[in-house]
Structure 1
Amino acid sequence: MILALIGPGIFLIEENMNIYMASFFCYLSFHDIHNYLGYRLLINLMETSDESI
């Protein structure tokens, strides 16, 4: 989370909050999508099915 706050700070040139908030939003969105897909993958791997191949 520290990288999410410090990383976009590099682009905070001349107090441009639009770039900072846009990059933070993109990072947060990517993080949420990554967590959701990882959770779904974990659920699918833990399911036991008796279906024959």
Structure 2
Amino acid sequence: MTKETTRDRLVRKEQRNSPGSGFNNALARAHTGQPPNGCLSFIITVIIIFLLFRACM
């Protein structure tokens, strides 16, 4: 098992245990520039974060 496979498995397990961890994981990937499945998901993540930020203002 590679490190990425192990990490992805642990991330999915954590997301099942904590509903907010999915958002935290997406936010962390957006900040580090590591989109999980390509450019489109990165763009969508950034838009969602921007909309959430604007909604809180």
| TM bin (shorter chain) | 0.3 to 0.5
Quick one: higher RCO (CA 8 Å, sep 6+), 1 or 2?
1
The structure with the larger Rg is 1
The TM-score normalised by the length of structure 2 is: 0.40
The TM-score normalised by the length of structure 1 is: 0.43
